[in-house]
A and B are shown apart, each in its own frame.
Chain A
Amino acid sequence: MGRIDFEKFTLDNGLKDIVHKDTSTPLACLNIMYDVGSRDEDPNRTGFAHLFEHLMFGGSANIPSYDSPLQIAGGQNNAFTSTDITNYYITLPVENLETAFWLESDRMLNLAFTDKSLEVQRSVVIEEFRQRYLNQPYGDAWLLMRPLAFSTHPYQWATIGKEEKHIEEATMDMVKAFYAKHYRPKNAVMVVAGNVELEQIRLLAEKWFAPIVKGEKVERKLPKEPTQKKAKRLEVERPVPLDAIYISFHMCGKEDADYAGWDLLSDVLGHGDSSRLHQRLVKENRIFTSISAFVMGERDPSLFTIAGHLSQGITVEEAEKAIWAEIELLRTESVADIELEKVKNQVESTHEFSEMNILNRAIGLAYHELLGDAEMVNTEIDNYRKVTKTDMLNLAKQHLVPTNSSTLIYKRQG
């Protein structure tokens, strides 16, 4: 397997820097990942981490427009927010790399907050809310499942936020406080990838980022989700053509030793055309038109989910029964050796394919450094190789039980 080589250094202000050299591309990538996501939000002001990501493009103290100077240097950029992190990246010709340092350091130094920018981005985000969650069939399923499954932990709201109102009510003071708390060097990891030298990157980082005030590492004290004691259920009706079922189970977080086992369990059950759910419930019995199983990959204890669209004429009871029969199989019989080998091979191959461009490699390095050590990008695969069928049977036995489940029945209206 292709190893991702890298070198690291840390600036005095706490900014962690990783350099990944790849001589095969004329492009360079500068990626900055901030250790802040929607789980860090106040329950009464949700959607804030993501709204803030939008504001990061509104210009900074010394650079009124973020996009134009980058575009004129032949660069492209984007960003995303999840429950755990907020990530910003630039790709551009390697000769113009300093432009990326200039832009990213200035917005880490100080943003130019304007009322107009806040007002516009509030409405852009509300349109995003509508386009992706409200105006799509089944688009609000996760807005319903998260608060059903989580009673306490901030994963109970999605990154977009609980409701449009929270975004409408965001004020300039809140925005500034959020920035001051989370957007500090100590709270970030920077990765530079491309045909670059460590010393060259160290000089650029010293020049542009070292003058930024350190700030404090944010102490995270998130409420712990209590163990679920009984099955939860919610039924809603929506104008959709087909009924749908979502069943989620609480599972461990990304850094837990059991995570790889959970991930493989979801693959056996519902990843790809040869998976159990697809073969038996879509192809053989035609109970569902589509069905899959997946894990969220979140850092704190999160969810293992089975989600499917029912075929017309099938009742919710029949469909649920079919899912539980598959779960029962996982709980009583070990997966076949060949099945286990298959899902391990799939993980290995997905990993190899996903690292074909420098941007993905840079994001992978940043994420693992944030988890504690960038080297895990290379060793993660070993955790998967170690999983045994007994591990998987034990996970299923212990956790795939009705008392640990949250079921969302998404019914067709009328």
Chain B
Amino acid sequence: MLNRSITPPFGKITSIHLIEPTVYHLDNGLPVFAVSAGTQEVLKIELIFHAGTATADKKLVASASSKLQTEGTTKRTAMELAEAVDFYGAHLQSEVTHDEASLDLYTLNKHVDNTIGTLAEVYSDPVFEEREVETYLLKSKQEMLVNEEKVSYLGAKAFSASLFGKEHPYGRSANQQDYDAVSRHDLVGFHSSFIKSRIKYILVSGKLSSTTIQSLNQQFGQEKRLAVSENAIPINAIEPMALHVEKPGAVQNSIKIGRVLFNRTHSDFVGMQILSTVLGGYFGSRLMTNIREDKGYTYGIGAGLVSLKDTGYLSISTEVGADTCEAAVNEIFIEIERLRKEPIPIHELELVQNYMLGSILKSLDGPFQISDKWKTYLRYGLGSDSHYSLIRQILNITPERLRELANTYLQRKDLVQVTVGKPI
């Protein structure tokens, strides 16, 4: 008779292989990192730029420039471009984070020759036509009105400002008037200073063919490259405080708690990543167990580290019923306090270690995911050493070390707290 109360034997993950990209240099020296993997006949080509929102002096310029690249070039209108990509079932996507921008092409392998030219064209020759700029700004301005009805959106804005300061490149956010201040001139200027001839590197992933690199060389390897200036962004100390933003009529309140820490290159980064996983990084985490599974205050709560170019931060985030907001905030601080006072039991730590290793394994399922992983390392000039060191550190962490980290970095006086919603 099968005894179902006994766990079947299982193995612990002790190593995870990370596929190394092959590095090529195009005729002009531009590096290409190529991850050849996967079962499907697809390709993703990413052009990476040092052109994030923190790079531009003026708000909205980096994101508007990125979005409007695909809305018309010197040769083709927005409609013609859209048709050229859509016809082949391909997809052009532009993305902007705080520090980087990317312009990506997703295409079936068989259509790469039909679509790569369009990628090159929107990269090098966007016109930022007046009417397109106006339409985009109008549309974004109105979308922002919709977002401002969401407590999570308001919470994220107030949280960034509380962490870094309202005017800081990482702390600032746009308001309605800022849209009126953006002109075509700004976008043309941004494109010529940060995008044109300034690709940092190319990341290509999927099933590479023998001609993929050759095509990239034809399209991107012939222009003269210009230097990219990457200035450090100074972080100013801000007095942490508790802030409540009123949003009358909200059914739920948004809660965000956290602090400025450091990025992936810091020696305590992995330790803090483990600690934030224990706190709120997975379904069985302490915050999920307490606030969702025990008390039913929320649909979900999470904690995690965000790594930026020169800094990083911890963020704990949830939405809870307006009436339970205060109780939920208290419970969050109780759980943080416990991390500082009590060592994490060995069985819990072991579970978190295995969970983290399992999720790293899962995060490498498929070529695009592997290239995403590489993007997080390449941003800091890191190589696969960092990946293997991460695995080692997860395997070797101790409860004592985590308690030390909690006492160093999770003092209540250092934590910023933002709530949005009904008055509390």
Chain A interfacial positions (CB closer than 8 Å to B)? 1-2, 22, 24-27, 61-63, 67-69, 71-76, 91-93, 95-96, 98-99, 101-102, 105-106, 109, 119-125, 127-128, 130-132, 134-138, 207-208, 211, 239-242, 272-274, 279, 282-283, 286, 289-290, 309, 311-312, 338, 341-342, 345-350, 352-353, 355-359
| A135 B89 Cβ-Cβ under 8 A | no
B145, B149, B361: the one within 8 Å of A26 (CB): B361
| A290 B90 Cβ-Cβ under 8 A | no
Measured CB to CB, the closest approach of chain A to B294, in angstroms, equals 7
Assembled-state Cα–Cα distance A127/B295 (Å)? 11
Listed stretches B5-13, B156-164, B218-226, B403-411; interface member? B5-13
| B146 A240 Cβ-Cβ under 8 A | yes
With a cutoff of 8 Å between Cβ atoms, the chain A residues found around residue B143 in the complex are 289-290
Measured CB to CB, the closest approach of chain A to B98, in angstroms, equals 25
| B367 A207 Cβ-Cβ under 8 A | no
With a cutoff of 8 Å between Cβ atoms, the chain A residues found around residue B70 in the complex are 273
Assembled-state Cα–Cα distance A96/B299 (Å)? 29
Measured CB to CB, the closest approach of chain A to B205, in angstroms, equals 10
Binary contact readout B352-379 vs A (1 if CB under 8 angstroms, 0 otherwise): 1011011101100111110000000000
With a cutoff of 8 Å between Cβ atoms, the chain A residues found around residue B317 in the complex are none
Measured CB to CB, the closest approach of chain B to A383, in angstroms, equals 17
Q: In B308-346, which residues have CB < 8 Å from any A CB?
A: 319-321
Measured CB to CB, the closest approach of chain A to B353, in angstroms, equals 9
| A240 B11 Cβ-Cβ under 8 A | no
Given A124-B299, A135-B251, A283-B135 in contact, is the A345-B87 Cβ separation under 8 Å?
yes
| A95 B10 Cβ-Cβ under 8 A | yes
With a cutoff of 8 Å between Cβ atoms, the chain B residues found around residue A124 in the complex are 292-293, 296, 298-299
Assembled-state Cα–Cα distance A349/B369 (Å)? 18
B413 CB–A CB distance under 8 Å: no
| A290 B149 Cβ-Cβ under 8 A | no
Assembled-state Cα–Cα distance A211/B4 (Å)? 11
With a cutoff of 8 Å between Cβ atoms, the chain B residues found around residue A98 in the complex are 8-10
5 A-B pairs with the lowest CB-CB distances in the bound complex, closest first: A349-B89, A74-B358, A123-B296, A241-B145, A274-B82
| B358 A71 Cβ-Cβ under 8 A | yes
| B365 A357 Cβ-Cβ under 8 A | yes
Task: Across the interface, name the chain B residue whose C-beta is closest to A343.
Answer: B86
Task: Across the interface, name the chain A residue whose C-beta is closest to B357.
Answer: A74
Given A71-B358, A135-B151, A135-B319 in contact, is the A273-B82 Cβ separation under 8 Å?
yes
> Other CB < 8 Å A-B pairs besides A76-B358, A131-B299, 6 of them?
A71-B355, A135-B252, A137-B149, A273-B82, A274-B87, A346-B86
| A286 B142 Cβ-Cβ under 8 A | no
Measured CB to CB, the closest approach of chain B to A101, in angstroms, equals 8
Assembled-state Cα–Cα distance A345/B295 (Å)? 49
- 28 A–B contacts from the bound complex (CB under 8 Å): A62-B5, A67-B283, A68-B284, A93-B361, A95-B11, A96-B10, A120-B295, A124-B292, A127-B298, A132-B299, A134-B251, A137-B146, A240-B146, A241-B145, A241-B148, A274-B79, A274-B87, A279-B82, A282-B139, A289-B142, A311-B138, A312-B142, A338-B87, A346-B86, A353-B106, A356-B39, A356-B368, A359-B365
B83 CB–A CB distance under 8 Å: yes
| A286 B138 Cβ-Cβ under 8 A | yes
**Count of CB-CB pairs between chains A and B under 8 Å:** 214
With a cutoff of 8 Å between Cβ atoms, the chain A residues found around residue B12 in the complex are 74
| A27 B320 Cβ-Cβ under 8 A | no
B297 CB–A CB distance under 8 Å: yes
Assembled-state Cα–Cα distance A411/B135 (Å)? 23
B37 CB–A CB distance under 8 Å: yes
With a cutoff of 8 Å between Cβ atoms, the chain B residues found around residue A131 in the complex are 252, 298-299, 319
| A352 B108 Cβ-Cβ under 8 A | yes
Task: Across the interface, name the chain A residue whose C-beta is closest to B206.
Answer: A356
Q: Which of B16, B82, B350 has the most CB of A within 10 A?
A: B82
Assembled-state Cα–Cα distance A101/B85 (Å)? 44
With a cutoff of 8 Å between Cβ atoms, the chain A residues found around residue B4 in the complex are 61-63, 102, 105-106, 109
Using a Cβ–Cβ cut-off of 8 Å, how many residues does chain B contribute to the interface with A?
77
Chain B interfacial positions (CB closer than 8 Å to A)? 2, 4-5, 7-13, 16-17, 37-42, 70, 78-79, 82-83, 85-91, 106-108, 135, 138-139, 142-143, 145-146, 148-151, 249-252, 282-284, 292-299, 319-321, 350-352, 354-355, 357-359, 361-362, 365-369
With a cutoff of 8 Å between Cβ atoms, the chain B residues found around residue A312 in the complex are 142
Given A122-B296, A127-B252, A282-B139 in contact, is the A102-B7 Cβ separation under 8 Å?
yes
| B86 A211 Cβ-Cβ under 8 A | no
With a cutoff of 8 Å between Cβ atoms, the chain A residues found around residue B78 in the complex are 273, 283
Assembled-state Cα–Cα distance A337/B12 (Å)? 56
| B138 A240 Cβ-Cβ under 8 A | no
Assembled-state Cα–Cα distance A62/B91 (Å)? 48
Measured CB to CB, the closest approach of chain B to A99, in angstroms, equals 5
Assembled-state Cα–Cα distance A205/B251 (Å)? 46
With a cutoff of 8 Å between Cβ atoms, the chain A residues found around residue B5 in the complex are 62-63
Measured CB to CB, the closest approach of chain B to A124, in angstroms, equals 5
| B351 A68 Cβ-Cβ under 8 A | yes
Assembled-state Cα–Cα distance A69/B355 (Å)? 10
Task: Across the interface, name the chain B residue whose C-beta is closest to A240.
Answer: B149
Measured CB to CB, the closest approach of chain A to B305, in angstroms, equals 19
Task: Across the interface, name the chain A residue whose C-beta is closest to B319.
Answer: A131
Task: Across the interface, name the chain B residue whose C-beta is closest to A102.
Answer: B8
| A127 B321 Cβ-Cβ under 8 A | yes
With a cutoff of 8 Å between Cβ atoms, the chain A residues found around residue B250 in the complex are 135
Given A24-B39, A120-B294, A353-B40 in contact, is the A99-B7 Cβ separation under 8 Å?
yes
| A27 B86 Cβ-Cβ under 8 A | no
Given A102-B7, A137-B146 in contact, is the A130-B249 Cβ separation under 8 Å?
no
